[in-house]
Amino acid sequence: MPLTRRQILKSALFAGAAVTIVPRYVLGGEAGTAPNDRVTLAGIGIGGIGHPQLKDARDAGFQVVALCDVDDVHAKKTYDVFPEARKYRDFRDLLNSEGDKIDAVYCGTPDHTHAIITLAALRAKKHVCCVKPLTRTIEEGRAVLKAVREAGTATQVTMQPNTSEQACRTMELIYAGAIGEIREIHAWSGRPVWPQGMLDYPNWEDPVPSTFDWDLWLGPAEKRPFADQWPENCPYPGMACANWGKRGVYHPFNFRGWFAFGTGSLGDMGCHRANLPYRMFRLKHPTRITASSTRAYKVSYPIGCMVTYDYPASEDFPEIRLTWYDGGLKPPVPKCMGSEMFPAEGVLYVGTEGMMFNDRILDPERAEKFANVPKTIERRGGVMPEWYEACRGGQAASANFEYAIPVTEFVLLGNLAVMTGKAVEFDPETLTIANNTEAQALISQPYHNGWTL
């Protein structure tokens, strides 16, 4: 059934339509950037996704003045794009040397170093944008949340925007009652495109190239020998659907499949897929999470999994069950789609009066009936333009850290259910999982090599 006028107005307000949030620093705080100044940016972790995202940041208006990476070879293509930028290998040296020369920091490193870099930048009162997932553990996320509240600076996570045309149209149609009340959401990804399902770490050691700092790459992770490439006859690279990382063991791309360094397919793509449902239905924390998967080992994520999240009813929305699929798994194709198959990535909304695949109403008659639903929700420019606007004292970015912590915990809690093979019932206030002691032990994980939160 359609939402009431009160519900629609509340939803539109939450969605950010015509809302301007003025950060503390614009009102006289010590941190921040004057609205008329160009925002100077330092990029840390620039050889992978950092390469295109820093170009997006430049196009949004940022002035990239400093760059940092532990691998000179991998970072070269980005150094070449910004030849005037000052170069560093250790992010601590960058922050110490740049001081008040930079206003903002971008973090595009592997998952296990997001927290240490983000925290250091926030404590230096810098605006921060971090690639998803924001942290690798729940404890790290809460530390980041505390730090951003103290810093009062503008933040953003590089999740698929919930302010795009497709995202906003999906919200408008669902709020208008196009498929009734939403009871189920199915989200999936064709990832991994890197090896997962490894039984153990490599039992050999390779020389570390002079152009690469393995110790800095490890950061707070447990010390282990550097391994460069899987052997020619190793089955693991072939287990990845697209094998984007080829035969690399850890660096520069295949860290994602290791529990010590990455967050698996769910961590990589779950933030993208869950971002819009979390915004649309104001989701926070599920009451119960259950999972099934291909065989899981302690050191690596399984090749494929299915995770089910149950969310309680709220004032405006009924109970919702969200199910995640990866590794080639997908929900059943609705009969109304005929011989059409789902693509590798997508979201299916199941309502009491129909279904939607992304922003497409599957029933042609209902699609025609709701074709002229007015556009009432503000569209915005994307990840970097939103962050740039926020850094200059305008509207907060849609995936700012305060908002993004529950979405990050969505993927992290799902992984705990996958890795332990048991249900997870999480108390977000006390950070406890009383029904699963194995999962409880993984909420906070030890730091090594002298690193601390």
Alpha-carbon span 161 to 86, nearest angstrom? 30
Q: Which of 167, 115, 329, 370 is nearest to 241 (CA)?
A: 329
CA distances from 159 to 87, 105, 441 (A): 27, 17, 28
5-14, 63-72, 354-363, 388-397: least confident range? 5-14
Angular region, 28: left φ>0, alpha ψ -120 to 50, beta rest = left
Task: Classify residue 30 by its DSSP letter.
Answer: S
Instruction: Using pLDDT thresholds of 50, 70 and 90, give the confidence band for residue 35.
Output: very low
Asked whether residue 206 is assigned to any structural domain, the reply reads: no
pLDDT at 24 over 80: no
- Average pLDDT of every residue of the chain: 92
First to last CA, the chain: 47
pLDDT exceeds cutoff 50 at 295: yes
Taking the whole predicted model, whether its pTM rises above 0.75 is answered as yes
pLDDT over threshold 50, residue 15: no
Q: What is the number of structural domains in the chain?
A: 1
Q: What is the mean predicted confidence (pLDDT) over 131-153? A: 98
| The pLDDT of residue 296 | 84
Is residue 126 situated within a structural domain? yes
Q: Are 319 and 183 in contact (CB under 8 A)?
A: yes
- Helix/strand/coil (H/E/C) assignment for every residue in 140-167: HHHHHHHHHHHHCCCEEECCCCCCCHHH
**Residue that has been written with the tokens 């000179």 in this structure:** 72
Q: Take residue 281 and report the two structure tokens written for it.
A: 């239905």
Residue whose pair of structure tokens reads 């199910």 in the numeric block: 323
Percentages of the chain per state (helix, strand, coil), in multiples of 5: 35, 15, 50
How far CA 20 is from CA of 14, 16, 282, in Å, comes to 12, 8, 19
Residue 142, Cβ neighbours under 10 Å: how many? Answer: 18
- The answer to the question of residue 124 being in a domain is yes
- 99 is a domain residue: yes
pLDDT tops 60 at residue 221 = yes
**Crossing angle between the packed helical segments 264-281 and 401-420, to the nearest 10 degrees:** 130
Tens-digit pLDDT profile for residues 378-388: 999 999 999 99
Residue 14 — pLDDT band, cuts 50, 70, 90?
very low
Q: Is residue 410 in some structural domain?
A: no
Predicted confidence at residue 80, as pLDDT, reads 98
Predicted local distance difference test score (pLDDT) of residue 50: 98
The answer to whether the CB of 414 falls within 8 A of the CB of 324 is yes
pLDDT at 18 over 80: no
Q: What is the CA radius of gyration of the chain?
A: 22
Q: Which residues does residue 357 pair with via DSSP β-bridges, in sequence order?
A: 348, 360
- Tally the C-alpha atoms within 13 A of residue 326's C-alpha that lie toward its C-beta: 31
Could you give the percent of the chain with pLDDT greater than 70? Answer: 92
Closest listed residue to residue 366, CA positions, set 354, 376, 348, 378: 354
Token digits for 12?
Answer: 């539109």
Residue 364 in tokens? 């042609």
CB atoms within 10 A of CB 376: 17
Tokens of 407: 């979405």
DSSP H helical segments within 211-329, as ranges?
Answer: 214-218, 264-281
Please give the backbone phi and psi of residue 269, each rounded to the nearest 5 degrees, phi first: -110, -15
**Residue 29: pLDDT above 90?**
no
| Tokens 């008329």 belong to residue | 36
pLDDT of residue 4: 44
Spatial strand order of the sheet with 40-44 comes to: 86-88, 63-68, 40-44, 104-107, 127-130, 155-157
Give whole-number Cα distances, 393 to 13, 31, 33, 35, in Å: 19, 11, 7, 6
Q: What is the pLDDT of residue 119?
A: 98
Q: Look up the domain containing 64 and give its range.
A: 5-157
Q: What is the pLDDT of residues 164-201, one digit of tens each?
A: 999 999 999 999 999 999 999 999 999 999 999 999 99
Pair 269, 189: CB distance under 8 Å: yes
**376 residue type, one letter:** T
Average pLDDT in the 429-437 region? 97
Q: Tens digit of pLDDT for each residue in 55-81? A: 999 999 999 999 999 999 999 999 999
Residue 57 resides in a domain: yes
Residue 304 corresponds to which tokens in the numbers above?
């494929």
Nearest to 118 by CA among 109, 133, 107: 107
The answer to whether residue 226 scores a pLDDT higher than 60 is yes
In a domain, 46, yes or no: yes
Assess whether pLDDT exceeds 70 at residue 31: no
Find the CATH number of the domain harbouring 111: 3.40.50.720
Backbone angles phi, psi at 182, to 5 degrees: -80, 125
CA 360 to chain CA centroid, Å, is 24
What pLDDT is recorded for position 38? 85
202: tokens are: 């490599």
38 part of a folded domain: yes
What would the pLDDT profile of 247-262 be if each residue is shown by its tens digit?
999 999 999 999 999 9
- Please report which confidence band the pLDDT of residue 37 belongs to, taking 50, 70 and 90 as the band edges: confident
pLDDT surpasses 50 at 410? yes
pLDDT in tens, 318-335: 999 999 999 999 999 999
pLDDT of residue 219: 98
Concatenate the DSSP letters of all residues of 109-150 into one string.
S-GGGHHHHHHHHHHTT-EEEEPSSS-SSHHHHHHHHHHHHH
Spatial distance between the Cα atoms of 276 and 280, rounded to a whole number of angstroms: 6
**Residue 288, token pair as written in the block:** 């119960």
